[in-house]
Structure 1
Amino acid sequence: MKRIVLSLLISIVGAGAVLAQQKGFTIKGKIGSLNAPAKVYFVSHETKTLDSAILKNGTFQFKGIVKKPGFADLSLDRYGVGKDNIDLENNTDELTFFLDNSEITVNAQDSLIRGKVTGSKRNDQYMAYDKYIGGTVTAAYKNYRNRISPYLWNSYPFTKEFDEYMYRFKTRRFEKQLKFIDENPESLFSLYALTDIISMGFDKDMSKTGAAYRSMDVKLRNTQEGLRIGRLIQIRSQGAVGTMAPDFTLYDVNHKPVTLSAYRGSYVVLYFWVTGNDLIKAENYRMSKASGLYKNKKFKIISISLDPEKKKRVWEKEVRENNLPWVQVWGLKSGPLATTKLYGNLGTPVSIVVDPDGKIALKDLNSHELQYQLAEYMK
């Protein structure tokens, strides 16, 4: 799974210089009594700077100036193997904090991941926000994954359990972020919460996300980042949960038309995918399980290939060879791309559930999340 990182607040406040202090920052830290070759790497998300310091009796220090406050990472290279190598590890020892031009202290007994950052009021506010919403997706991912032996990480039972856990965690976190914005409309971290919701792809209910955005203080909405989020919400409200699913006519492998509205009265899963990807193959396998599980109910799957026209023959071959037991469509030229735009420019693989009345019930689901949700709908 691609390493998840906290979203960068790009130009979080339009007049960033107002927030930034001119004196610069100092980060003084201590991690036990570690010495060379142990190193600490410092990365600022805002400026994209990378620096390192060799530990001496556990101590390290970084100095600089940030024009716009934003997130930064400290990561521990315990054995001096290099930044690229520690980034490949599943248990990266890393601490993320909110960086401004303050005198910052980092104390950690044995590892950065359990370190404590003090000295910055802005970071204190971030930590209060992070605690309120239940922590980061990265932390939840690592904590759950590390409870089980690595050789089981790719097993079907674990991935199913893991995906369901992460779906529940992100759903709870989304609701807490919305509540935080409602209670703190003038907070910088209300804007960050919306940035995080959008960039993490968890803006499944755009009516709630849009309402939260509109409840936020107008000064934050009028910043560069606030305006960007507003435009994205407007775009993604197309095909939002609770709205009527936009109709379309696409074509199957035998060039016969398939129209969404013809399936009114059934639950319909719109499954957006592309060929030639191991992740997609795994999703197809899981989708097959969902197809078999609900074959005796009013439940249909329409797979919409987003392959370009030059890969149409590859798509046809894969559909026929794998004998995928549901409707497979591909639109001529830009047909599928136009279709995905109707639903808010989705990625792949991802699914949307349309209810029997033709309304979008669920959006942006992977196959495990889909099965978890369908189990509730199909009781």
Structure 2
Amino acid sequence: MKSIILTLVAFFLCLNLASAQERGFVVTGKLEGLKPSYLFMYHSYKGVEHRDSLMVKDGTFSFKGKVHEPSMCIIFSKEIRFQKVFYVQNADMKFTGSVEAPDKIVITGSPVQDEYSVLEKRIAEHRSKAMAIYERAEAVRKDGKTEEANQLMAEFDKLYRGEGAIRKQFIIDFPKSYAALGELLYWTTESNYKEAAELYAAIATELKTTDKAKEIEAHIKNLDVTQVGKPFVDFTMNDAQGKAVQLSSYKGKYVLLEFWASWCGPCRAENPNLREQYAKFKDKGFNILGVSLDDKEDRWKKALEKDNLPWTQVSDLKGWHNAAAIQYGVRAIPANFLISPEGKIIARDLRGEALNAKLSEIFP
């Protein structure tokens, strides 16, 4: 009899999960101090943005939708300083708490969010510790204790840079969590991709069928094939006039493959230096191919005109899902790759004086 009851419980549990997956998610909440007229919800999947908005009534809200797999999401207001980042999945989810303390808002109904909240707590505790040291450093500096302040700032800097280790530990601690997949993709860089491959190998087998896992696999592979010393990866993309441009057409010359965007401040700040170096060395065989991670054509073209960039510029206007950026493992900009006439990547992420010195070495 007991086994029959357990079987029935398991059956109805599976039935409920399947039903939730079919109907999608319902995110409801009642937050103290929530007085704006509208709330907005945003998430994306494979580069496709999903946006929703609704009118708030007496501090309550209810968003409905459907996700292919758990997705990082944000709910925010344009009228007050309120936003909350969380994982949404096809389930009945509930927000409780206050807009005055977003970090203390409790979100129930999502196992993935439950796991992600563990990471949020670890990060919050780490940042709180770091800020306490920073504030102490500022206080002793005002008292004229410069040496002690410098020591505290060094301690703060070490803690600040140690946040990646917390994310890495979360990946290790939760190998069966979809949230760990998201963190692994976020954590993986050109400098640690081999270690990332080892962490990925330890992820639960059932997670490796997800699109997020496939994205991580591709990212690690792309980082490997675009290392210094490797042959360049060819691609074709349209320029601002709609003409197809192929990277391999630059073979026989030095070309700086420059990833940027109109909204990227550091990218735009580097453009005057790029103009100067281009003018200095273009007649000696130096070229630049700009790849914009913009998704709005008008903003891209206005930036091209304002910054007066004379070299070829291409974009597929897919933002962070730019095909060339994905091929080269680019997840932060500015980023660049210097390619030799023989088609080898000979340097990467050269900016300012580092770029100038490299070009002066090549073109004495």
Normalised TM-score (structure 1): 0.48
Greater CA radius of gyration, 1 or 2?
2
Normalised TM-score (structure 2): 0.50
Greater helix content = 2
Q: Which has the higher contact order (CA 8 A, sep 6+)?
A: 1
